[in-house]
Chains A and B, each alone.
Chain A
Amino acid sequence: MRKALAVGLKEFRQIARDTRTLLILLFVPAFFLLLYGYALNWDIRHVRLAVLDRDHSTDSRQLISAFVNSTFFDRVADVSSMADVESLMDRDRIRAALVIPENMSRDVRSGRQAAVQIILSGDNANTATAVFGYAQAIVRGVSAALQIEMASGRLAPPPLSADARIWFNPELKSTLFLVPGLIGFIVMISCVVSTSLSIVREKERGTWEQVRMAPINTVSYVVGKTIPYFVVSYASALFIIFAAMFLFGMPMRGSWSALLAALSLYVVGALGTGLLVSTLVDSQALAFLVSLLVSLLPTMILSGFVFPISSMPVPIQMISLIVPARYFLVVLRGIVLKGADAAMYVQQFGALALYAATVLGLASLRLARERG
């Protein structure tokens, strides 16, 4: 243990000597959380909509108001021809248009099928797919309401209705969804970046021989290497979490101790990932490349940060099981947004612990073999 501390102290001095690196590690993550938390908006609401109503009936007005009341669409223009729709769309003034044909109301009420046309700009498929589904749902909803009215009269209550309640984020603000994800992402990257060069650097600079000969067992060496980075990364992660709370109104509905415990496991796992990469490669350039490839895009895309895991194909869902951020984000969102306690996330805690133990274990094994 004392030897581990000695290694830790040496490593800490080395970090402290490189002021730029230390400052970047401590403060830059929080700065970027601020920047991205402020800059990014994932809302698909307020889609600019033009309406071309050729029917002018009570029913067409009902359809239009269903669109407007959804808060998904902002009715920015009423036009009288398709040419107007085209020119507005080309100039990017509108992103969607609702075209109601003549006699829609008469057709429906005399038992025929009427078709309304909805035109979407597919320029940004991220949001367009959601708008597509939503528009379809609105039209089907209005159609069903009309059928009920025709079948049982205007005043009759519908035979079946649904009362929807949204928990945890009732205003459906995307910031509350994104900020925890950003925290997980930034913590992961800064941890991996801080350790992935640490061992291979000794090899490249030739100080590795001294380490090999040093009278210290491998585990103490790994622990000693990890401690200072753990201190720095943990401080920086806490800093980010506070910043998220004060500046983005991220709530804290659960227990601090559970959050701190999950954060520790996550930080150790992330630092371990960097260490493992560092033991596997023989140049800093390769360590840099490999560590980014395993952390940067997977943490962003496979963790449930922005893309829902349940929508992915099953084999990809399996692959996402080895991405630690996946578990951390569930716990983090659960604790801060839902007020859940640690007992609910036994699986996730277990997975984070297992991940940390595995990467550190593999790194030690690999080092032990190299030291002979």
Chain B
Amino acid sequence: MRRLLFLIRKEIQELRRNPRMFPVLFIAPVIQLGILGYAATTDVRNVPVVVADGDRSPASRELVGRFEASRYFSVIDVVSTTSGVDQDLMRGRAWLVLAIPPGYGRMTEAGTPVGLQVLADGSDSNSTTVALAYASTLIAEKAAELAVARSPARIAPIGSIEARIRVWFNPELSSRHFMVPGVLALLLMVITTVLGAMAIVREKELGTLEQLNVTPLRRWELTVGKLLPFGIIGMIDVLLVVAVAALWFEIPLRGSLPLLLGLSMIYLVCTLSLGLFVSTVSQTQQQAMMTAVFFFMMPMLYLSGFIFPIENMPAVIQPFTYLIPLRYYLVIVRGIFLKGVGLEAFWKDALMMTACGVAVLSLATMRSRKTLR
């Protein structure tokens, strides 16, 4: 136990000798979450539209005004002909082009059917699908108004159908509420995996591992001694980013904070030990970095369900996602934050994450024995 304390003290001293590390460890995550939390949104709004208004009449301007007033579109330019609009779509300046034919005002006045044209840049397939649906709704509603106004019968009140949409499990349906906890989990993963990955390989590269080797330190003491200081740093980061999420983004923390902190600790054990494992299988810090980034962080980023739904993945890939601790942590963080549920709802995920942590930690400890010999 005393040996362990000595090692921990040595590690802390080493950290303190590198004072530039602290701002990065504690300030960078806060700033990053502050920026990325706003950026990560799948809402479709302010889709840039160029209008080719061949009519330039009060009637056509009224139609353009409807697009401007909608929060889904922002009309960035009104031109007279469609001749230059393909350039706008190619450059990516506009995603949608609305072409109003000459004579639009006269024809709608006279009751002659008019065909508008909407051109869409299909490269962002999802946003385009939704934007097109909004555009055709705006146009259909204008058409209905025209029809009603011209109706010979002048039927007094005209009926309509309204959609009352209810979202279960996430009643406030906000992609920010959904994404901020995800970004939080990713930031923790990046920071702690890096710390773990540099732990042993650094001593190897600097040649001081031999010295540790001749001390009577046991394997598990080495692992614990290396990881504990990083674990403390990680927990401070957890507190910081949870505070940013709850106070700055005002994401309601509906569930229990102690439970969140406890499970975050287990998550950190997973990510730190993954890093440590990388450290034991690498000879240089460069190798450790490559291995950690390509084989651990990127799969966590893409296959955890952070952005890309796991259920959409091919059946061959899906089983592999069970190996990713971030997958479970995401369920837990979102569950505690958004749904206010406790262990009864995600005990399976908590259990799997704990199993992951234990497995990786033992693997890393076993590996470090080999490298020490």
Residues B171 and A289 in contact, CB atoms below 8 Å apart: no
| Assembled-state Cα–Cα distance A107/B159 (Å) | 7
Q: Output the least CB separation between A22 and chain B (Å).
A: 10
For A145, list chain B residues within 8 Å (CB).
Answer: 140, 144
A114 at the B interface (CB under 8 A): yes
User: Which residue of chain B has the shortest Cβ distance to A308 in the bound complex?
Assistant: B127
Q: For B46, B134, B168, B179, which residue has the most chain A Cβ atoms within 10 angstroms? A: B168
A1 at the B interface (CB under 8 A): no
For B156, list chain A residues within 8 Å (CB).
Answer: 111
Residues A128 and B44 in contact, CB atoms below 8 Å apart: no
Give B64-93 as 1s and 0s: 1 = Cβ < 8 Å from A's Cβ atoms: 000000001010000000000011011110
For B40, list chain A residues within 8 Å (CB).
Answer: 301, 307
Interface residues on A, range: 35 or more
Q: Which residue of B117, B198, B314 contacts A162 across the interface (Cβ within 8 Å)?
A: B117
Residues B123 and A297 in contact, CB atoms below 8 Å apart: no
User: Which residue of chain B has the shortest Cβ distance to A46 in the bound complex?
Assistant: B312
Residues A151 and B116 in contact, CB atoms below 8 Å apart: no
A235 at the B interface (CB under 8 A): no
User: Which residue of chain A has the shortest Cβ distance to B18 in the bound complex?
Assistant: A283
| Assembled-state Cα–Cα distance A233/B289 (Å) | 16
Q: A163-B118, A193-B290, A306-B307 are in contact. Are A125 and B173 (CB under 8 A)?
A: yes
For B124, list chain A residues within 8 Å (CB).
Answer: 177, 308
Q: Which residue of A39, A114, A337 contacts B303 across the interface (Cβ within 8 Å)?
A: A39
For A119, list chain B residues within 8 Å (CB).
Answer: 165-168
For B141, list chain A residues within 8 Å (CB).
Answer: 140, 144
Question: Which of B214-222, B257-265, B292-300, B363-371 sits within the interface?
Answer: B292-300
Residues A302 and B133 in contact, CB atoms below 8 Å apart: no
Residues B113 and A136 in contact, CB atoms below 8 Å apart: no
Residues B168 and A18 in contact, CB atoms below 8 Å apart: no
Q: Which residue of B130, B195, B307 contacts A126 across the interface (Cβ within 8 Å)?
A: B307
- Interface of chain A, main secondary structure: helix
Q: Which residue of B36, B147, B153 contacts A158 across the interface (Cβ within 8 Å)?
A: B147
B373 at the A interface (CB under 8 A): no
Q: A298-B36, A301-B40, A310-B47 are in contact. Are A132 and B165 (CB under 8 A)?
A: yes
Q: For A127, A176, A286, A301, which residue has the most chain B Cβ atoms within 10 angstroms? A: A301
Interface residue ranges of A21-46 to B (CB < 8 Å)? 21, 24-25, 28-29, 32, 35-36, 38-44
Interface residue ranges of A194-229 to B (CB < 8 Å)? 196-197, 201, 204-205
Residues A160 and B133 in contact, CB atoms below 8 Å apart: no
Residues B163 and A116 in contact, CB atoms below 8 Å apart: yes
User: Which residue of chain A has the shortest Cβ distance to B187 in the bound complex?
Assistant: A297
For A29, list chain B residues within 8 Å (CB).
Answer: 294
User: Which residue of chain B has the shortest Cβ distance to A295 in the bound complex?
Assistant: B293
For A140, list chain B residues within 8 Å (CB).
Answer: 137, 140-141, 163
Residues B161 and A114 in contact, CB atoms below 8 Å apart: yes
Q: A119-B168, A197-B286, A201-B285 are in contact. Are A337 and B123 (CB under 8 A)?
A: yes
Give me the interface of B with A, judged by CB distance under 8 Å. 18, 20-21, 24-25, 28, 32, 35-36, 38-48, 72, 74, 86-87, 89-92, 95, 108, 111-130, 132-137, 139-144, 146-148, 150-153, 155-171, 173-175, 177-179, 183, 186-187, 190-191, 194-195, 197-198, 202, 205-206, 284-287, 289-291, 293-294, 297-298, 301-303, 307-309, 312-314, 317
5 A–B contacts from the bound complex (CB under 8 Å): A29-B294, A42-B126, A44-B126, A130-B42, A140-B140
Q: Report, nearest first, the 5 A-B pairs whose CB atoms are least far apart.
A: A122-B170, A125-B178, A169-B122, A108-B159, A151-B151
